[in-house]
Each structure stands twice: as structure tokens, then as C-alpha cells.
Amino acid sequence: MARKGSAFAGLTVATVTPFKDGQVDYAALRDHVEFQVAAGTTCICPVGTTGESPTLTFEEHERVIAEVVQFAAGRIKVMAGTGANCTAEAIRLTTWAAKVGADAALLVAPYYNKPTQEGFYLHYKALSEAVRIPLCIYNIPGRTAKNVEPDTICRLGELGNITMVKEATGSLDQASQVLAGSNLTLLSGDDSLTLPLLSIGGEGVVSVVGNIIPQDVIALVAAFRSGDCQKACQWHHKLFPLCRDMLGLSTNPIPIKAAMKILGRDTGQLRLPMTPLDAAGEAKLRQTLSRYGLL
């Protein structure tokens, strides 16, 4: 039986925001959308954590969403990152995303101000009432400083257009509780946990490594969904060292942008307070990419 957000099952790529001379490089952004379309990616997620949303102005944030929707032109779904720790700001961004044609919105749990569980509930409820597009709760307590508890997520799942949860707690118990207690579609928020979460009922992943190897992530998910668990395990064990050794080098999106620079796909530029890998980190990254067969 299909879950509420099954239309977004498969690979969603949390896309980087390319910069050139300190400004958003919209030509490079278009090329990256085309790369994902050609790979057969289900959905792209601009201006999330990987897209450096904390350092974009409101105007840049809104323009990136609008441009990506236009570049996608209906060939690939767009789940725009529109979360904020201020409910009014999140409503502004999400309303904009819906207006310009995004297919869904990814909403990180309010960070820093550490709401109560009732505060989380009312925050997302306000968002669900402000727009009609599907909404995905993004639960990542390692960044936000507080967990959206499973009971709260299940309660939110009763609201019509809250259809998905991006699960990044690292807890299979939490994921299992959400799946058992709701009809939400669960997407992995950690590349290395994609297969374990699929095995308990997850339906896909919001991926960082998908910026460079979308076909391989698609192959893992497709193998599992076709019932070929042995092949899915093979893909998991191939991908795992890349996920661990590349993404573990520094805070996301520093390693993925460095990898894209090495592979000739991005300038590698970041905005402060994010800083590039040092020489030792870049050397390790080159070794990791080489072992995977990308260099």
C-alpha cells in the first residue's frame, strides 16, 4: 500500500548552490539540474543544507528556487528547502516555492531556539495551513539541537499535506516508530543509512553523494525495490566508503563541493563561515575519489 509521499520515492539530490566570484552561478546551476535530469534522479532539493541556505539572502534563496523550477521544466520534481527557525520566515519561503511551481517543500525543524514538542507541532501545522503542496519534515537534531519526537511526527502526519519525513537522527528505532505510527513516506537523511532505512520501510534518500554519482544511488534503491537484496547490499558496500571517507572529512557541504571542484563540476567556492578543505583534507579526498573510480 502506497504511503502519503510515495510519489517522491527514490533518489532526491540535495543540490549544491554553485558560486562564482562570490555570487550564485545560475549557469552552473542549470548545468547541474540537467546532469540530474539525465541521470534519472526522481527529485532535486535546492537551497537545503547542502545548498548553503544559511548564507543566502532571502532574495537569492527565492531566486534559486524559481530558477531551478524553470530549469527542471517538469522533467524532474523539485522539493525546495524552505525551512527556518522563525515560522513567519518559513511560511514566506514556502509560499514563494508553491507560487513559482515547486512540487514540494523540505522544512528543517526550527533550530537554535529549541521549541517544545507542541511548538514543533504548531510550527508545521501553520505551514500546512499556509500552502497546499506536499511538505517534508526534516529532522536532524545534530544540527538543530533538538529532536522532533516520533509521536510529534506521527501527529503531524495526520495533517493532509504533510506527507514525508527526512530522517537524519541516525536512529533506526525512531525511524521504525514513525513508520509504524504514521502513513508518512520516510526518506533517509544520511547516505550511509539508505539501505538500512529501506529495509524497515523507507522509500528513498535525500542524498549528498548524489551530486556526483546519482546513477549509483539510483541503482542501490532500484535493486532493493526490485527484491534483489544481494545486489542492493553490493551497492551499499561500494558506496559506504565514499560516504564515510568523503562526507566525514568536514561539515557538509565542504567535502562535496571540494569533490565537485576536483571532478570539474564546480568552482568549489563557499561562503563564510564555511571554508574549503585544507591541503591534507583535499589529498585524502583525492584518494577516496580515486579508490571509488572517479579519478
Residues annotated catalytic, as ranges = 138, 166
Q: Which residues pair with 71 in a beta bridge?
A: none
Burial of 176 (0-12, 13-18, 19+ CB in 10 A): middle
Distance CA 70, CA 96 (A): 14
Q: Which amino acid is at 121?
A: Y
Q: Which residues pair with 43 in a beta bridge?
A: 12, 77
Name residue, grid cell 544481494: 230
Contact 41, 13 (CB under 8 A): yes
- Say if strands 23-24 and 135-139 run parallel, antiparallel, or are unpaired: unpaired
CA distances to 88, 107, 206 from 163, rounded to whole Å, are 21, 12, 15
Name residue, grid cell 550564485: 24
3-state secondary structure of 3: coil
Distance CA 245, CA 288 (A): 7
170: left (phi over 0), alpha (psi -120 to 50) or beta: left
Query: What grid cell was written down for 173?
Result: 528505532
Distance CA 65, CA 55 (A): 15
